[in-house]
Amino acid sequence: MELRHLRYFVAVAATENFSQAAAKLNVAQSAVSRQVRELELQLGSDLFDRKGKRIRLSTFGAHFLEQAQRILADVEQARSHAVMAAKGNIGVLRIALQIGAFDRPTVLKSIKLFKSESPGVELVLLPMRGDQVVEAVRSGSVDGGFVYAPISYPDVAFERLAPEQWLLAMPRSHSLASKADIRLLDLVDEPFIWLPRHVSPILHDQMLAACHNGGLVPNIVQSASDRLLLLGLIEVGVGLCFLPGPVGGGRSREIVLREVSDFSLPAYPSLIWKPGTNSPTRQRLLDAIHRVKQEPAAPTESAGVSMSSI
């Protein structure tokens, strides 16, 4: 028994006429008659009561029709789901998130756009350290991961989002807050709060190298990776800190952000994934990222920006 047998039978049952069923199916009437007869032989019972040119479902045929319609509906649903899954319209997308990357504007916009365009996809976000994101991607335990680092990881494919500028965060009362042009040598005597090396060794080292290139060996007095803790330490004057701008929620009005003209380090939030893997749902996220990247860039934050504008 094939699906074709069921389709032809259901069409004849709906029209109670072989020629009309053939026209509906766009096949010859003889083909319809032959397929229905083959089905009856396989079932061992007549599906129709034939009286002259008129046909009616037999008692057996009426019961079988319900099952045939259910089977065809299930097959169509399976086909539809398969097509939707192949296009990334349904399924599960597991994305690891480096904690520092989650509040980046382009990351948030991309996730929001993806969710609005793919309501049938279950998006599972898994916060973790940057090195853990890379390991999860390499192991295949996630479909991709957002990281925030000015680097490219070996053996990992990536899509960079919009580049961002590193800004120096300090209390509003700090003497450098009103300085017109800040350079790294102006920071020689300043205490710094720094990203712990175990959180992202490469980023940690490249930030130090960018300072060394400008003649600064940072006086690191405190390490912190939690965003709210970091902002609190800055506000009470424990030290200054380089942050990727703009800085999102949680920043006090008492913290200002300033450019350091010779601190040169590109910063890109990026989506990374394991090369050679195929994920239609991840591709839809990449499509959202591409559209967000085409949007006009937001103006860079300057000193004294209030929370209401962040």
Q: Fold for 91-162+269-309, please state it.
A: D-Maltodextrin-Binding Protein; domain 2 (3.40.190)
Residue 194: strand pairing partners? 223
| Predicted local distance difference test score (pLDDT) of residue 125 | 93
Q: What CA–CA distance (Å, rounded) separates 146 from 64?
A: 53
In contact, 239 and 221? CB cutoff 8 Å: yes
Distance of CA 120 to the CA centre of its chain: 13
Q: What is the per-residue pLDDT for 297?
A: 62
Same fold across 91-162+269-309 and 166-258: yes
Superfamily of domain 166-258: Periplasmic binding protein-like II (3.40.190.10)
> Domain-by-domain residue ranges, the chain?
3-86, 91-162+269-309, 166-258
Say how far apart CA 259 and CA 6 lie, in whole Å: 72
The pLDDT value recorded for residue 139 is 93
Q: What percent of the chain has pLDDT over 70?
A: 91
Taking 70 as the pLDDT cut, the residues of the chain under it are 100, 149-152, 246-251, 297-310
Per-residue model confidence as pLDDT tens digits over 132-156: 898 999 999 999 999 876 566 778 9
| pLDDT computed for residue 186 by the predictor | 96
Distance CA 41, CA 44 (A): 5
CB crowding 129-144: b at 16 or more within 10 Å, else e: bbbebbebbbeeebbb
The pLDDT assigned to 112 comes to 94
**Strand pairing report for 191-194 and 255-258:** unpaired
Give the fold, CATH level 3, of 3-86. Answer: Arc Repressor Mutant, subunit A (1.10.10)
